[in-house]
Amino acid sequence: MSKIKEIEIAPAFIMASLLSSYPDEDVVANVSIILEDAEMSLRGNSTLRQSFEPFVKNVKHVFNDRIALEDLRSEYIDIFDRGRHVTSLYETEYGRERAMVKGPQLVDIAGFYRSFGFEMGGDGVAAEMLDHVSVELSFYALLCLKYNALEELKDQEGMEIVIDGRKKFLQAHLGRFIGAIGDRPGVQESPYFSSVFQFCKVLVMNECERLEVEVEPEGWLSPPVVVDEISCGGSVGITPC
């Protein structure tokens, strides 16, 4: 693993988590707080910086313009919450066998969160489902912060446990579907969200490369359309049309 400190990686993942969630007032306020730290954390990585810079100015403009912010909220709902071609932000909606593995995947994700003390939501805060991309990005940021704290304590065993958890979470979860979100038509048609999820993808894939993790990406596969048989008549023995 390269010598980049995890405390430098964490703000970028927090930023990615915020930008991939619905831009309500809390998100806007938190983006303003973390933005400078996120920009500083990317200065030493040209690949991440090049992915981040194209939209960071737009983020600042939109989040400080009430009309533009309301338009962004409407666009988020159109792309991710409604319509025939809605883009899912949930990991368990991706992959060929998603109907069969959804339950076990959710159990596995919950196991990661529980093992590393990750709690979702809070007083008066509605928590997203645990496989939402913003939640997974936030969890990964926590792992980076935990690693840094253990490094300062010179707790080698604890550091190894956290690194192992990060590798496994990237391989089994975050790394496998992050790229598929940006490939969805609704996201590609949005200058704002296409740049957000391109950054998220580059950020996660950079971690996979840095930690020498190989992932098998999952794509979006539309569920099969079930067409009921239509009979030409009601009598027994008459074949379908």
What is the model's pLDDT at position 231? 36
What does the block give as tokens for 53?
């810079």
What is the model's pLDDT at position 102? 84
Q: What is the dihedral of CA 198, 201, 202, 207, to 10 degrees?
A: 160
Q: Is residue 29 part of a domain?
A: yes
What is the model's pLDDT at position 219? 77
Q: Is residue 95 part of a domain?
A: yes
Q: Is residue 218 part of a domain?
A: no
pLDDT per residue as tens, the chain (241 positions): 544 555 578 999 999 999 999 999 999 999 999 988 888 878 777 888 888 887 788 898 899 999 999 999 999 999 998 766 789 999 998 976 665 678 889 999 999 999 999 987 654 444 678 999 999 999 999 999 999 999 999 999 999 999 999 999 999 999 999 999 999 999 999 999 999 999 999 999 999 999 999 999 887 765 443 334 433 443 333 334 3
Q: How many degrees, rounded to 5, is the angle at CA 187 between CA 184 and CA 190?
A: 150
Assign residue 171 the CATH number of its domain: 1.10.3480
> Count of domains in the chain?
1
- In angstroms, the CA 236 to CA 50 distance is 68
Q: Is residue 220 part of a domain?
A: no
Sign of the CA dihedral with 217 first, then 185, 80, and 60 last:
positive
The DSSP letter of residue 125 is: B
Judged on CB neighbours under 10 Å (0-12, 13-18, 19+), 138 is buried
Give residue 179's domain range: 6-210
Locate tokens 């932000």: which residue?
89
Alpha carbons within 13 angstroms on the beta-carbon side of residue 51 total 20
- In angstroms, the CA 177 to CA 217 distance is 6
What is the model's pLDDT at position 128? 73
- In angstroms, the CA 110 to CA 126 distance is 17
Locate tokens 């983006």: which residue?
31
Q: Is residue 234 part of a domain?
A: no
Contacts of 34 (CB under 8 A, 6+ apart): 11, 14, 15, 18
What is the model's pLDDT at position 12? 92
Of all helices (H) and strands (E), which one includes residue 48?
helix 46-63
Locate tokens 């500083």: which residue?
40
Q: What is the dihedral of CA 188, 193, 194, 198, to 10 degrees?
A: -140
What is the model's pLDDT at position 127? 63
- What is the per-residue DSSP string for 201-229? HHHHHHHHHHTT---------PPPPP---
- What is the per-residue DSSP string for 145-164? HHHHHHHHTT-HHHHHHHHH
Q: Is residue 134 part of a domain?
A: yes
Locate tokens 């071609």: which residue?
85
- In angstroms, the CA 128 to CA 213 distance is 27
Of all helices (H) and strands (E), which one includes residue 27?
helix 25-41
